[in-house]
Structure 1
Amino acid sequence: MAAEPTDPLTLEVVDLIATIVVRYHEEYDAVAAGHQLTGAQARVLGLLAREPLPMRRIAEQLKCEPSNVTGIVDRLEVRGLVQRRPDPADRRVKLAAATPAGHATAERLRASLGFAREPLAALSREDRTTLRDLLRRMLG
């Protein structure tokens, strides 16, 4: 059975989402470079500023190999932005966690991201709430 063609509105929405993703990553990588970080290092630091995580979970969230995460965490640790520590729930597992300097850097990174701030501010609170709710529904 042949798949039904996607309607033009859905195709336009998908294209707009793709454009937003590309622009976000371009700005994110540029802001990260301003803090002497790669985009991947900045993303890991952002995750760890929210909560300590085992390497496996970081790899799952970034959709990459755990060995890549190990190298990223190693470089962040050398800079004093991340530390490894035992998981209190399972001492065999090591957690990566942002240090105070890591939290401060992650906060500066986030504050530096201007992408979409002005366009979103131009929307009413009701429109921003609707957009948020629709995006949450899309993500399940």
Structure 2
Amino acid sequence: MTERTPTPPTDPLTVEVVELIATVVARYHEEYEEAAGKHALTGAQARVLALLSREAMPMRRIAQQLKCEPSNVTGIVDRLETRGLVERRPDPDDRRVKLAAATEEGRETSARLRASLNFAREPLAGLSEQERTTLRDLLRRMLD
């Protein structure tokens, strides 16, 4: 006897929730791309810079985080490095590995970009702290 995976619900409420999530994601990406453009960055460059502003990491890990090929990351890091936003340095734990890291200018650029993203902050400001906590907890459950 084989186990069957449960069929996801397709009731009208579930369909509406899925559509609302898709709309939120689309609006976020649209604003993110626009904000990146104001800093002369592509969306992909801005995402890499945001990752590297938190911590230095090897190209392979950046690719895993962004779910793309390491060769794509190399080109993105090359362009960010040319602009002085990212630098490559040896990994202190394994000198054969190079880490990409945001420079001070890169961290400042990433912080300015993040501060300019109002799409999510404005609607969330209309929710109470308890509502935001509930939303956060529900989103975490969905991602687990």
Q: Percent identity?
A: 76
Unaligned regions of 5+ residues in structure 1, if any?
Answer: none
| TM-score normalised to structure 2 length | 0.92
Paired letter, 1:15 = E
Given the alignment of the two structures, is residue 60 of structure 1 paired with residue 64 of structure 2, yes or no? yes
| TM-score normalised to structure 1 length | 0.94
Q: Which residue of 2 aligns with 1:128?
A: 132
One of 8, 21, 24 as aligned partner of 1:20: 24
Q: Which residue of 2 aligns with 1:112?
A: 116
Given the alignment of the two structures, is residue 10 of structure 1 paired with residue 20 of structure 2, yes or no? no
Distance 1:130 1:20 in 2: 17
One of 97, 100, 104 as aligned partner of 1:96: 100
Distance 1:41 1:3 in 2: 38
Unaligned regions of 5+ residues in structure 2, if any?
Answer: none
Distance 2:9 2:117 in 1: 37
Given the alignment of the two structures, is residue 74 of structure 1 paired with residue 78 of structure 2, yes or no? yes
Following TM superposition, the consecutive aligned residue runs of length 4 or more in structure 1 with deviations greater than 6 angstroms are none
Q: Give the SS at the match of 2:68.
A: coil
Distance 2:55 2:31 in 1: 24
Distance 2:8 2:75 in 1: 44
